[in-house]
Amino acid sequence: MSQFHATTIFGIHHKGECAMSGDGQVTFGNAVVMKHTARKVRKLFNGKVLAGFAGSVADAFTLFEMFEGKLEEFNGNLQRAAVELAKQWRSDKVLRKLEAMLIVMNKEHMLLISGTGEVIEPDDGILAIGSGGNYALAAGRSLKKYSGDHLTAKEIAKAALEIAAEICVYTNENIIVEEL
């Protein structure tokens, strides 16, 4: 059975700023683009947390809701909410089958959360997921390293997705950027 999938998400902490970008493409199976303007990056917890998903759309919405519930439960503690979500995601027989990944971030931390129980904080303040994730990651690292003080986190997040969209067929140029 074919599934709906959503793809590239990029997050960055840079010069005290943080931003997350995502493209708008949703594909059905491997051949059909069903939507060009999906919103895969959202502000949560009264605008203090950014979250973005890649993977099956319905699964990702389930995870967004669960993560937001964990944020409320742990009073906005990003790391605790992420660990508790990962534990629940991995141990629950139904949730274990969800096909999605999340990047979550606040002003202090950025984390990748997966259904295998992984909660990873990057060393360099950059994460990317989805089919165009490696392209966006390479572009973002290069932009951050060589831009000096010329580019903001928001500009790097947008440019990294634009570069990924030029390479990855599952990433389009309808880019949403959110910042804290």
Q: At what angle do helices 153-167 and 133-146 cross, to 10 degrees?
A: 140
Residue 41 structure tokens: 């990056």
Q: Which of 7, 8, 27, 171 is catalytic?
A: 7
Cα 165 from Cα 160, distance rounded (Å)? 9
Cα 153 from Cα 144, distance rounded (Å)? 8
CA-wise closest residue to 144 among 2, 14, 39: 14
Buried-exposed string 29-59: b where 16+ CB fall within 10 A, e elsewhere: eeeeeeeeebebbbebbeeebbbbbbbbbeb
Give the number of other Cβ atoms within 10 Å of residue 73's Cβ.
12
Q: What is the amino acid identity at position 57?
A: V
- Residue 7 bears catalytic tag: yes
CA-wise closest residue to 103 among 84, 130, 77, 74: 130
Active site residues: 7
